[in-house]
Amino acid sequence: MKEVEETTITKAIVEKAMEDWLSLSEVDVAVVGAGPSGLTAARYLAKAGLKTVVFERRLSFGGGMGGGGMLFHKLVIQSPADVVLREVNCRLEPLEEGVYVVDTAEMMAKLAAGALDAGAKILLGLVVDDVIIRGETPTITGVVVQWTAVTMSGLHVDPLGVKAKAVVDCTGHDAEVLVIASRKNPELGFTVPGEASMWAPKAERLMLEKTGQVCPGLYVAGMATGAVHQTPRMGPIFGGMLLSGRRVAEVILRDLG
Ligand code: 48H
């Protein structure tokens, strides 16, 4: 086995991480959350040539996919969202016309691999705990990031800012970016009332309809859409998450020209 000195390992990691950070201090799109909607949005955005970074609080990607339905390792997908999974070679088991069952681990891995292969960066262990704001017409122009480990330690450490032409809240039920942005900047003109009770078919339809821009520079996809528009939850059917991720990418691509 090739012998590698500790200094080589340390220098490689620090230098290469710094190269990435220097490049990522200014991006086209900052996606917050590496769940199904965030990974899907990132894949389409990166595929279209936009410099895209995903910030994920945990040291793993997948968000709510890993929990399946009440910890059973299966999720349900409905057409036309199957197309999104077929594009990343995720296997689907047909259940009935237009309805499929997917293994959670496969869906997590394939969506993440798809985003990475398209050119998106996924940075793990980072929390977005604020936004950057500018302008007479208040516009979100980036995110504020901190190591998850620092937030857990309770140490006072100032975070760093990352500029982005578009920020997408894909943080799931808690809509963390939208909650922070609206609380700190009431002039943005929106509130986050939280999602409504379960009504799967209606939830899936409305999620897609409501996905998009919340205020200048700030977009929403996935379950966070339900939180800001108070649409119902849907339980472990994930077609809406995938289509919402794809939709927000389409909206951003149109808006950024
Ligand atoms: C960095 C953050 C931050 C932060 C959170 O929950 P997710 O899977 O989100 P979606 O919207 O892509 O998918 C929702 C789906 O999983 C779900 O919960 C469904 C369908 N529920 C239906 C129902 O009825 O219950 O992923 C969000 C990701 C997670 O990995 C978080 O760790 C991460 O975002 N995250 N990352 N900074 N401030 N907040």
User: E strand or H helix at 105, and its extent?
Assistant: helix 104-118
In the chain the first and final C-alpha atoms are separated, in Å, by 51
Closest CA to 102 of 240, 250, 238, 254: 238
pLDDT bracket for residue 10 (50, 70, 90)? very high
Pocket probe for ligand 1: among 223, 233, 243, the residue whose CB has the most ligand atoms within 8 Å is 223
CA 163-243-225 angle, to 5 degrees, is 60
Residues 235/69, Cβ–Cβ less than 8 Å:
yes
| Ligand 1 midpoint to CA 37 (Å) | 8
Q: Kindly report the protein residue whose alpha carbon is nearest to atom 21 of ligand 1.
A: 235
Write out the two tokens for 207.
Answer: 């999620």
Give the burial class of 53: count Cβ atoms within 10 A of its Cβ; 0-12 exposed, 13-18 middle, 19 or more buried: buried
CA 148-149-152 angle, to 5 degrees, is 90
Q: What is the mean pLDDT of the chain?
A: 98
| Ligand 1 midpoint to CA 64 (Å) | 6
| Ligand 1 midpoint to CA 103 (Å) | 18
pLDDT digits (tens, 9 = 90+) for 164-198: 999 999 999 999 999 999 999 999 999 999 999 99
* Amino acid sitting at position 120: A
- What span, in angstroms and rounded, lies between the C-alpha atoms of 44 and 166? 14
Quickly name the fold that domain 24-66+105-256 has. FAD/NAD(P)-binding domain (3.50.50)
What is the percentage of the chain residues whose pLDDT exceeds 70? 100
**pLDDT attached to residue 255:** 98
How is the chain split into domains, by residue range?
Answer: 24-66+105-256
What residues does ligand 1 touch, defined as CB less than 6 Å away?
32-38, 55-58, 63-65, 127-128, 170-173, 176, 198, 222-224, 233-235, 238, 241
Residues 254/204, Cβ–Cβ less than 8 Å:
no
* Cut 0.95: pTM above it: yes
CB atoms within 10 A of CB 10: 10
| Ligand 1 midpoint to CA 173 (Å) | 6
E-strand ranges in the chain read 26-32, 52-56, 74-78, 93-96, 99-103, 121-124, 126-134, 139-147, 160-169, 212-215, 218-220
Atom of ligand 1 nearest to the CA of 223: 11
| Ligand 1 midpoint to CA 209 (Å) | 19
**pLDDT attached to residue 26:** 98
**pLDDT attached to residue 20:** 97
| Ligand 1 midpoint to CA 27 (Å) | 22
**pLDDT attached to residue 38:** 99
Residues 203/211, Cβ–Cβ less than 8 Å:
no
pLDDT digits (tens, 9 = 90+) for 71-129: 999 999 999 999 999 999 999 999 999 999 999 999 999 999 999 999 999 999 999 99
Write out the two tokens for 163.
Answer: 């500029």
Atom of ligand 1 nearest to the CA of 224: 11
